[in-house]
Structures are given as structure tokens and as C-alpha cells.
Amino acid sequence: MDPISADFLARFGDIDLQKIWRDLYLHYTGVTWAFLFDLLTDYSLYLISALGLYVLFFAGQVSLGHAGIVGVSAYIAGIVSVKLGLSFYVALLAAGLAGMLTGFVFWYLVGLRLTLFYLAIGTFAITEALQTLALNSDYLGAALGFHGIPLATKWYHVFIILGLVMFAVWRLEQSRFGLAMRAIRDNPTVAGAMGINVARTKLLAWLFAGFCTGLAGCLHAHRVTILTPPEFSILMSINFVLAPLLGGLRTFWGTIIGGAIVWWLPWITTTDDPRWRLALYGVILVALMVFRPQGIFPATPTRTTGFRGDQAARARSVAPRPAAWSISRSREGGGGRPGITAPGTGFAFERRTIFGYACGDPNHAAAGCRANGGGGCS
Amino acid sequence: MQFGFLVEQVLIGIATGAIYAIIAVGLNLIFGTMNVLNMAHGSAIMIGSFGVLLSYYVGVENFWIGCAVGIVLAFLTGLLVERVAVRPMKGNWWNTKIATIGMAFVLENLVTVITEGRPQLYPRPFNPVYYVVYGDIKTPGGTLIEISNIQLMLIALSILMVVGMVLFLYRTATGKAIRVVAQSPDIARCVGIDVKRTIVVGFAVSATLAGIAGILNGVTFGSTYSFIGFQLILKGIVVLIVAGIGNMRGCLWVGMLLGVIESLSVGLGESTYRDFIAYSGMVLVLVFRPWGLFGEEGRVQREV
Amino acid sequence: MKKLFALLAAAVALPLALGATGAAAQEKVIRIPFATAFSGPFIQFGERLWRGGLYATEEINAAGGVRNGIKLEFYKIDTRSPETAPFIAEFRRACENKDVPMILANTASTQLFSVYEYAKECNMAIFAPTAGAHWVFPDYGKWIYRFLPTPATVLPVLYTKVREEFKAKTVALSYTLDDQFSFQNLKVAREVLEKQGYQVVADLGTKLKETNFGPQVAEVRAKNPDIVIVSHQPDDGGKFVLQLRERGIKTQIVDAGFTISGADFWKLSNGEARGAVGFTTYASDDPRPIVQAWVKKWQEKTGAKDAAPDAFETATYDAVKVIAEVLNKAKSLERKDIADAFNAVKNFDTVTGTVSWGGAFGEAERNNPTLITIGDNGKLLRWPQK
């Protein structure tokens, strides 16, 4: 019975510092511009999917099954390219449409009816089910993978599509759809009362995200030329989720920076001892949640006045203001974001989620936040 | 012969489901207290099971001492998770969920590095003995329904734990305190309950249950590895959702149901779709009855 | 925020600065990238393979290195299996770096397929000692060299012998659904079984790292086949056999690939694996001195006096020895010369038998792989025992 690996103990014992620095040196001098460019291209490909997920988070739709959309569209792209023999651009379009279709399925099954927690679990379950289907399909190559996809993705494809997606997301944020999505994210019941068609806005979010991610799936398929079901796992989904989580939901640049941290940090820090790569993700997550849960660019900026410390206690000592609701421009920065804001509630709870209001906001509590069965206060 | 064979699969499924039920009960406790899904429950399961291996590694080859070590370690893990990933979140369920995922990652991968990810053989206090329920043991391929003492012990323990949990929640002061905190921490403070301590107790109890589940899993199947917690907690979540949050008895039934479905899917020849059936079932429940088979309707609000 | 950026900047700048000092102290050394899964779900294989290679490297360097005194060194490349993109990027980096003479890619065939197109432009030898799947491309990109005997050549021999020895007619198949290795071996096994007239009475797929084989065991008991063929990763196979034997089922276990020749198979079956039959690349009671020397060395290094190394560590040990041989015989350290040296390897003796390359494809020509059975303490013994 020896669970502890002798190698682990040995490595702790004799660490040759000279060798470590030499290896690091090797890894860094082995870095050429071409290699960095390769990584940059991979990173941009990752960003396209991450931006799709950002749009979903932006609309309040938490998805832990993003890898499923990437997987489906990648396989469709592969089928179009290999079995149907059509051109890369046709595959691109087909993959985008497949992504939209998958987004629609997600929306219909879980996005429409469920709130945050159940939504997350539901999306995860759908992706797992899809993975099992792919594993059983001989047409898709099952466990051996779908090989033979032509190496058609060039670097400019990735950058152009990334640019287009960034532009589209930016326009979406600024548009009235973006406004509607933010309203749904903050409080869907009230948004519905204000006349926003919640179901349709959510559908739009899923379709948009699905299309962008579909494009990424096609690019991925034609870059690695072989697809196996195990690669589209919960780990891939968590990689995508980390980007908007780190980046915050005020602007899509947050996802880009958050994605940069999530994607590049393992390359920089764990290439010499890769065993720790996954533990690093965990550390990032916990540190993020402890120190800055709202992300780098928070959706609702934290008040700089008011003191840190037990905000909850302070809030308790101050009677919550009577419902001086104002359906108007928020005073808390950003430009004209409607939504229900009760003035002065910002200070009470320092701990914000990336979605804005935290559960525990006294006004929300009065509205029976807990009765949402953990579904969140949106 | 076909029928007898299916009955056998059902029996196996019930025993497997007993483990899922114990895990779901632990998860339910946390969900009840904190309204949050504790993803780090899986790491408590794993650390509990590895505690036994650790005690064997340092030379103490007694299973029961190892059990105690495992349970204590799982208990400590629960406290650690609460302190690091839950308390700083100040009740924000979304942050807590993400932070517990992070903790789970860290703990599981730490153990992976130490053990090199290798599966480990698990010591057993006694060897499994099969009792014949029906049929003739001498005819190969004939109808033979057996059940082992380990399986019986599992089923008994899980029922015991569910009953114990229900008693704990409804009869003891701490249990009642946990239920009040689950309803509303503010009201709990009003009536003088120490919310912080209650939450800590909730995590500790749930983690102990997890450790026991981990040890039982190792004993039943003879092996464990560093991601066993992750694997089991997925099943636990399925049970939780399908049964409905907050319902302990539902966990028992649904847990066993899940085990039976898995076994039958192998028995009926569709072994490769085992997980698919479980997850589709969960999605169906989510679509049509998100408060679970045994839950109350008001707990989950539909949005549209 | 500022702190985070400062930390990142330091993380990048510090090694560069230190590297500048490290550059001064250079000895003659050949560094070859060793690519395998060092993180993620397959970490257990990565570490084990690295160790096998390490033993060989130490031996070679202790004996004076290659090419009259140059030390051989491997450095790690994480393929993050089952991901494919990181390995592609690392492969291209290795290609770019002219100091890298070749790459030792201890990966599954999936990663190999993904770099196939890039390999054509790269002109650098890729040695893949643990990739054994059915090769789907028309050529090996001229530069890919494989090492393992493929199941397609061995299984017919194995199953014929099994039929002779055990008079077997009916079969239960137990395999891992989502593992490329196991699935591939299973496919080949199915074809061979059909051709040889066996009858499959049970088809039992499980997912990777499954712990609960109860339902599968019940199936086996009910259908009562003559043999059970396992096509799993070694650890899953071991768990399955343990649960099978516990139930009192004594059916003979037969391998379809490299299930039983991994160390975990014996370990996780708690000794119940004794008697299982299969094929692998070496047997520990093979009297050849090279085999016995390796077994002895392994026993010293790991302290396990009664056991013997498994097939994967042995494969990597051999791989490194082959690399040393190739480096010694190559005309220069240019990539083309190294590839030519690979092609020129003829009947080089390794623990796993003689190996030659130079055919039109990059598969190795091996002498007949060994049929084995599991003996005490998991040792791999020749089968049938004479």
C-alpha cells in the first residue's frame, strides 16, 4: 500500500537549482517569435469561444456546457469538410449554424425556464449527454476520433474572425439588445414587467453565442485536424468560464484580459513542472473569489466610499431605506443602464457577484430572495 | 432466467445507489444551510478515502484506525473548505459555488500530484461473502441471485444515515438551528442562533458523511483514486436535482433509483449509454419539474 | 490589479534575467524534448514513462554518453492529453529550434495524427514508442517512427493459441468506451474473433476510470462465456478482474492489447490477475541477458525485489536506448542524418526484442512479440509455460 509516489518524495529531497534555472532558460530561449505567434493564434481561437460565453454571462445565462457547443460545431465542420468534401468557408458557415442550433437547444431545454444554478447544472448535463452520443457513434469515429480534417485554418482566419466577433459583441453591448440583456441579468421579473420580452432576448443571446462559438469550433477542427470526444470535457468548459469570470461583465475587454491570464499563466508558470497546471486553475478561482469576485471590470462598480469591514453589520445597523425605487439612470457610473436600482443599496454589500447585485441585498431579501431555491437573485 | 438476471442487476443497483444516496444527503445538508452547492464535497470524499491509505502507508495496518483517520481528515477538510471558500463569501451563493469549485480543483490536483494520479488498491476489513438468495450456485449460467455482505452493509448504513440525518435535523437543537439558518440567516440571528457556528457545524457534518461515503466506496469496489470525488459528486448532483433540494428521504429513493437504472442499462445491453441515461433523466426533470420529484414547488421559481 | 501585473511581469522577466547568467555555464549536451501527458487525466502514464526514460538516460550517461562524451538529456513537454493544440504548438517550436535533433513523443496516436500535416513540413524525426493505434494515413510523413507491435499482427496468433489451450468458443468483451487505445484494440479484436469463429455473448463498455463493475460482472456470470477478453487501461482492467474473481467467477482472462501488461493491472486486482493471458513486448523470465539486466536494475531502483517492470516503462527504456544508438550511428546531428540513421537500424537488440526500420512505412519490424501470462507478484512470464 504505497499511494504516495516515491518520485514525489524524491523530488522534494534533491532539487538541483542549477538544473531548474537551466531548464527555464531553455524554455525561454526556445521561445521564438513563431512560437509566440502560434500561441497567440491559439489564444485568439480560445477568445472567440470565450467571447461567446461572455455574451451568455452578460445576459445572465450561466453555462457550464460551453464545450458542448464547440464540440458539436467542430464535428459538423469536420463532416462538411471530410464527408461532404465542401470548402472550408462552407464548413465555417455550417459550423456557425450548427452552433446556433445547439444554442437553441440549450435555450429551449434549460435557458428558458431555469435560473442560474439549475441552468449551470443543466447545461453541464446536456454536454455530457452529447459527449456520450459522440462516443457511441461510429460515423463520428467514436473514441478513435474524427481524423482527416484538412489543415485549412490560417492565422488570418483566426484574427479576422476574432476581430469581427469583438466588433459584433461591442455593438451588441451598446445596442438596445445589450440593454435588454443587462436588464434580464439584473432582474428578469422586473425586466419582463418593463416590457422586455425575456424569452426572446435570452434566445438571442444563445443564438449569438452559439454562432460565434460555432465559428471557433470550425477553426479548431481545421487547425488540429482530429477530433476526439474526450477533449470537449468539463475542463474545457471551465477554461472558458474562467475568462469572463476573471474579466467581469462591464465590457468585453474584461474577457480578453481575463482570458489572457487564464490562458498564458499556465504556459509561463507550469511548463517546467506541468503537474501543477490544474491546481493552478483552482488557485486562480479561489483567489479571485476571495479578493475580487466581481472580476476585473465589474458590472456594477464597487463604491469607493464607505469602509471595508463588516458591511453586513453596518447595513443591519442602518435601517434599509424605504422602497425609493427609481427606474432611471443609475448614479453609479456606466452610461444609462436602466434597471431597478434603489439608491444607496450599493454600499451595503461589498461582495458583489459578476452579475451585479449580490444575494443579501436587503431589498432583494425582502422580496424573498431565499425562496428562489438558490436560483440566485436575478 | 432473464428475469432472475435482471433482479440481480436491480440488487446490485440498490447497493450502488446507497452510496449515491449518502453523498446526496451530505450535499443536501450544505444546500440546506447555505443555499449553495458545495463542489468541494468531492474532495472531502476523496480525502476521507485516502485517509485510510495514508494510515496504512505510515505502517498502521488496522482498517478501523484507518477509518478513523479518514473520517477525521474529511472532517478537517470540511472545516478548511468552510474557512477558505465559504466564509469570505459572506453568503453570496454564486461566489461560494465558484470558490468551492476552485477548492475542489486545488485539493484534488494536490492529491493527484502526490499520488501521481494512480488508482490505489483499497484495504478491506473483511472479504465479501456472497449469500445465495435464489437459485442454484452449481449451475453455471443459470438463475442465481446473490447478495454480498458488503452490499447489505452498504444498504443498511445508507438507510441508517438518512434516518440519522432526518433525526438530527428535526430533533436536535443543532439540526433545528441549521434549518432556521437555511430559511433565513437574519431571522436566525434574531432568535439568538450563532449563524457562523451553525454553518461550520453543517459543513463538518456534511464532510464527515462524505468521508464515510468515500471509505464505503473504496471498500465496496476495492479501489480509489484522486478524482473519485469528482466522479461521485456528479452522480450526487444528479440525485440531488432529481430528488429535490432539501428532501432527505427523496435522496435515498432517488439514489437507489439511479443505481438501479445504471445497472439495468448494462443488463439490457446498452452499457455504453449508462451515463447518457442518467444525464438525460436529469435534464428531463429539470425541464419539466425542476423542484425535483420530491421537492416542493415553491422552492424553484420558473422565470418564464 | 497592479499587484497582479507586477507579479506577471516578474514571472516573465526573472527567468530571462537568470537565464542570461545560466548561458555562460554550458557543457556538451544533447537535449531532446520528451512529450507526454504530464497533467490532466493521463498524468499517471506520463510520470511512469518519464521514469523509464530516466533510468535509461542515467545508464547511458554513466557509460559515457553518446557520440564520445556528449551527455543526453530530455526535457518535458506537456501534451495536456486529451487536448491536441498544445502539442502542435510545442511541436512546431521544437521544429523551429535548430538545436533540437528529434522529438520523443510518448503520446497516444491522437496527438500524432494531429501533427501529421505539420510533420510533413518539419523534417524532423518523431519517435513515438507508445503509440499503437491503427494508422489512418497513407504514409508516415516520412518522419514518424513507431515502435509497438500492432494488435492486428499479434491477436490472430494469440487467439488461436487461446483456443488451443482453453478450448474456448464463447467470449465476453469488456472494454473502455472513451479511451482511444482500448477502443482501437477492441475493434481489431472483434474482427479477429469473428474471423476465427468465436461467438461474442456479452458486450460490456464502461467509461474510463470506472470503479463499479458490478453490473458487468453479473452479466459475465449470467452469460457464462469460456473466456473474458479485456480491453481497458491497465488499472480499469485490474479493478474489473478483482470484482470478477470476488464474485467467484473463474473464467479465463485474455487480453486484447496492452491491458494486462501494465503494472496497475496486477496491483489493482490484488493478485487475482494471476493466470491472465495476453501479449506484450517482453517477458521477465526471458533468459536474454539484456532483459535480466533491465529487470535487475528496475528492482534496485524501485526497491521492489519480487516484482518486475511493466510493458510501458520497458518500452520507454528501450526507446531511449534506441535513440542513443541512433545518435551514435548518425553521420552528424543534422536532422536528416538522424532520420537516415533511424532507417538504418537493423536488428538492434532491445529488451523488447529486435527492432528494425527502413521499410516504406515508419512501423518497426519486430521479431514476434511475446505471448505472456501473469505470474507471482505481477511478473510477466512467457506463455504457454514450457
- Looking at A272, A291, A310, which one is the last position of a domain? A291
| Domain total in chain A | 2
Q: Single out the residue in A291, A320, A341 at which a domain terminates.
A: A291
Q: Both A174 and A110 in a single domain? A: yes
A319 and A281 in a common domain: no
Q: Are residues A227 and A365 in the same domain?
A: no
Neighbouring chains of B at 3+ CB pairs within 8 Å?
A, C
Task: Say whether both A222 and A335 belong to one domain.
Answer: no
Percent of chain A with pLDDT over 70: 71
Residue at which a domain ends, from A271, A291, A311: A291
User: Over the stretch C63-117, which tens digit does the pLDDT of each residue have?
Assistant: 888 888 888 888 888 888 888 899 999 898 888 888 888 899 888 888 888 888 8
Contact assessment for residue A35 and residue B143, using Cβ atoms and an 8 Å cutoff: no
Do residue A230 and residue A163 come from a single domain?
Answer: yes
DSSP for A310-334, written as a single string:
-HHHHHHHSPPPP---B-S--SSSS
Q: Are C281 and C353 in contact (CB under 8 A)?
A: yes
Q: If you ran DSSP here, which 8-state letter would residue B200 be given?
A: H
Q: CB pairs below 8 Å between A and B: how many?
A: 202
Q: Are residues A256 and A332 in the same domain?
A: no
CA distances from B270 to B3, B274, B277, C220 (A): 17, 7, 10, 15
Q: Are C243 and B141 in contact (CB < 8 Å)?
A: no
Please report where in the chains the cell 453523498 appears, as a residue: B23
Which pLDDT score, from 0 to 100, does residue B297 have?
61
For range B175-190, the mean pLDDT = 83
B140/C215 Cβ within 8 A: no
Grid cell, residue B182, equals: 437555511
Q: What is the pLDDT of residue A345?
A: 34
Task: Write a three-state SS string for A96-139.
Answer: HHHHHHHHHHHHHHHHCCCCHHHHHHHHHHHHHHHHHHHHCCCC
Q: What H or E segment, with its residue span, contains residue C75?
A: strand C71-78
pLDDT recorded at residue A374: 36
Q: Which of A11-15, A92-96, C79-83, C231-235 has the lowest mean pLDDT?
A: A11-15
Would you say residue A310 lies in a domain?
Answer: yes
CA dist., res. C77 & res. C31, Å (int):
12
Q: Report the pLDDT value the prediction gives residue C13, as an integer from 0 to 100.
A: 52
CA distance C148 to chain B (A): 23
pLDDT reported for residue A8: 65
CB A205 within 8 A of CB A57: no
User: How far off is chain B from A164, nearest CA to CA, in Å?
Assistant: 31
- In-domain check, residue A326: yes
Q: Quick one: what percent of chain A has pLDDT higher than 90?
A: 38
- CB atoms under 10 Å from CB of A302, counted, come to 16
Please write down the HEC assignment for all residues of C177-233. Answer: CCCHHHHHHHHHHHHHHHHHCCEEEEEEEECCCCCCCHHHHHHHHHHCCCEEEEECC
The CATH number assigned to the domain holding A69 equals: 1.10.3470
Selection from A235, A142, B275, B253 nearest residue C210 by Cα? B275
Lowest-confidence range among A48-52, B110-114, B126-130, B255-259?
Answer: B126-130
Query: Do residue A210 and residue A344 come from a single domain?
Result: no
Does residue A231 sit in the same domain as residue A119? yes
* Chain C residues closer than 8 Å to B269 by CB: 203
Q: What single string gives the DSSP state of each residue in C284-328?
A: TT---HHHHHHHHHHHHHH--SS----HHHHHHHHHHHHHHHHHH
More confident residue, A187 or A210: A210
Angle at C306 between CA C300 and CA C308, to 5 degrees: 70
Helices and strands per DSSP (H, E), number in chain C: 13, 15
Same domain, A97 and A216: yes
Return the top range by mean pLDDT from A46-50, B120-124, B182-186: A46-50
Element of type H or E holding B229: helix B228-243
The H or E element containing residue C74 is strand C71-78
* Residues of chain B contacting residue A351, judged by C-beta atoms under 8 Å apart: 89-90, 92, 95
Distances in Å between the Cα of B233 and the Cα atoms of A231, B19, B238, C24, C342 are 21, 11, 8, 52, 49
> The whole model's pTM is what?
0.85
A170 lies in which domain range?
A: 40-291
- Amino acid in the structure at residue C12: V
Backbone angles phi, psi at C7, to 5 degrees: -60, -45
What chains are in contact with C, requiring at least 3 Cβ pairs below 8 Å?
A, B
> What pLDDT is attached to residue A203?
93
Judge if the upstream peptide bond of residue C369 is cis by omega within 30 degrees of 0.
no
pLDDT of residue A361: 37
Half-sphere exposure of B9 (CA within 13 A, CB side): 25
pLDDT at B206: 92
A-chain residues within 8 Å CB-CB of C113? 145, 147, 225-226
Q: Are residues A377 and A238 in the same domain?
A: no
DSSP symbol at A356: B
Give the separation between CA C259 and CA C273, rounded to whole angstroms.
Answer: 11
In a domain, A97, yes or no: yes
Same domain, A125 and A232: yes
pLDDT of A348 higher than 60: no
Q: pLDDT tens digit string along C262-302?
A: 888 888 888 888 888 888 877 777 888 888 888 888 888 88
Within a domain: residue A18? no
Chain B segment 23-42 residues within 8 A of A by beta carbon are: 31, 35-37
> Looking at the partner chain, which of A4, A311, A365 has a beta carbon nearest the beta carbon of B57?
A4
Domains detected in chain C: 28-149+313-366 (3.40.50.2300), 151-280 (3.40.50.2300)
Q: How far apart are CA C294 and CA B82, in angstroms?
A: 50
* C-alpha dist (Å) from residue B171 to A43, B166, B175: 56, 8, 7
**Do residues A284 and A253 share a domain?**
yes
DSSP output for C342-353: HHT--SEEETTE
**Residues β-bridged to residue C277:** C254, C373
The answer to whether residue A268 neighbours chain C at the CB level (below 8 Å) is: yes
pLDDT of residue C306: 75
In a domain, A87, yes or no: yes
CB burial of C265-292 (b: ≥16 within 10 Å; e: otherwise) equals bbbbbbebbbebbbbbbbbbebeeebbe
Q: Residue C81, by phi and psi: left (phi above 0), alpha (psi -120 to 50) or beta?
A: beta
Question: Is the confidence metric ipTM above 0.90 for this complex?
Answer: no
Q: Decide if A22 is inside a domain.
A: no
pLDDT at res. A219:
95
Q: How far is CA C299 from the centre of its chain?
A: 20
In a domain, A7, yes or no: no
Cβ–Cβ below 8 Å for B263 and C248: no
In chain C, which stretches have pLDDT less than 50?
15-26
Round to whole Å and give the CA distance between C13 and C23.
Answer: 16
Q: pLDDT value at position A15?
A: 52
pLDDT for residue C23: 40
Q: For the segment B65-112, what is each residue's pLDDT rounded down to a tens digit?
A: 999 999 999 999 999 999 988 888 776 777 888 889 999 999 999 999
pLDDT tens-digit readout, A150-196? 888 889 999 999 999 999 999 999 998 898 998 888 888 888 888 88
Measured from the Cβ of residue B195, the count of other Cβ atoms closer than 10 Å reads 16
Confidence of residue A249 (pLDDT cuts 50, 70, 90): confident
Residue A274: predicted pLDDT: 83
> Sorting pLDDT into bands at 50, 70 and 90, what band is A26?
low
Residue B37 has pLDDT above 60, yes or no: yes
Give A94→chain C minimum CA distance, Å. 22
Q: Would you say residue A246 lies in a domain?
A: yes
Q: How close does chain C come to B13, measured CA to CA in Å?
A: 8
